[in-house]
Amino acid sequence: MLGLVSLAFGVLGGLWRLGWEPPLPGTQPATFHGALMVAAFFGTVIGMERAACARRLAYLGPACAGVGGLATALGAPHPFSAALLVAGSAVLAALAFASFRRQPAPHAVMALAGALCGVAGNLVWLAGFPASEAVGAWLAFLVLTISGERLELSHLRLPATAPLALLAAAALLLPVGALILPFHWQAGATLIGVALVGLSLWLLVNDVARRNLRHHGQMRFSSVCLVGGYVWLGVGGLLLPFAGSYGPLYDAALHAVFLGFVVAMVVGHASLMLPAVLGIAVPYTPWFYVHLALLNATLLLRIDGDLAGRPEWRAWGGLGNAAALALFLLATAISALRGRERDNGL
């Protein structure tokens, strides 16, 4: 619930920044849109996923991230709310390190690197720097975490030398670029962009999602989400080197990654995540394609507005993005309730 609060305030803050001005407690959610979406919401969700496979003490991580998000949205003193976000990411990094020690496989290395990037981004945010200087580390946190999960969940057959070297190079460029970004935006953004394009191509070629498109039902739906997400990841990587630390290209590049890739991964993996984390079954229904199509169509409208200099397109696209997220939550809740009724024989 704390994660959903962070999501709600983060989305409303994003709409406020696009000019829609929804009712908000002050301007805090609008100012802290990035921190609420990445450090608070995704920090809580990913922390819950990791804690479900660990000891109960591990739930301190998502608890800190969730409370930190609530404190951020309601305008608590910045050192207090940001310190909670740092604490949540530190617990997640500790869990990733423990997993790496048990199984030092490539996916565990990527998960650990991603978790450490999350800590770094939150530390930059705690130090009082603007979100544009923390965004590289936040982006690396999510992209590396998701890429590591795909390596683990898909049971990829990792070829020996060249493909592994390309994957390692792309995964290494991402945190390096994130570290450079606060000091030299253009150099850091270029390295991150190259890394994103490399990861996009690698996943498109090696992930089983592309081959699973020929299946039906949930497997095909997840594969459509994944393949589309990999394409958006590459689009974000292509745009980022040409973007400054603000402005239309900045908006287009970041939301191609955070919405087109990250949110698509959440939509595609919801049927796996919720049973594992909350014990809630989410049966597949073809209606899931509605919110997926709405997300992609409105994201395309938003990015077209950014590239064409049409702020009204960007604003309507952003509103459509919010509607797609709301529809995803609604469809997931309805599917879970129907699954529960079916299991209870009602």
Nearest to 181 by CA among 198, 160, 195: 195
Residue 99 lies in a domain: no
Which range, of 194-198, 270-274, 299-303, 334-338, averages the lowest pLDDT? 270-274
The pLDDT tens digits of the residues spanning 246-301 come to: 899 999 999 999 999 999 999 988 877 777 666 777 888 899 999 999 999 999 99
Residue 327 is encoded by which pair of tokens? 């529809």
The pLDDT tens digits of the residues spanning 115-142 come to: 999 999 999 999 988 888 999 999 999 9
Residue 123 lies in a domain: no
Residue 132 lies in a domain: no
Other CB atoms within 10 A of residue 237 CB: 27
Residue 19 lies in a domain: no
More confident residue, 223 or 53: 223
Residue 40 is encoded by which pair of tokens? 């608070």
Mean pLDDT rounded to a whole number for the chain:
89
Tally of domains in the chain: 1
Residue 128 is encoded by which pair of tokens? 């009082």
Amino acid sitting at position 255: H
Residue 60 lies in a domain: no
Residue 117 lies in a domain: no
Cβ atoms 58, 50 nearer than 8 A: yes
Residue 212 lies in a domain: yes
Checking if the pLDDT of 314 tops 80, the result is yes
CA-based end-to-end distance of the chain: 27
Domain coverage including residue 189: 169-346
Residue 83 lies in a domain: no
C-alpha dihedral (111, 115, 120, 125), degrees to nearest 10: 130
Cβ atoms 41, 10 nearer than 8 A: yes
pLDDT-based confidence at residue 216 (cuts at 50, 70, 90)? confident
Cβ atoms 144, 110 nearer than 8 A: yes
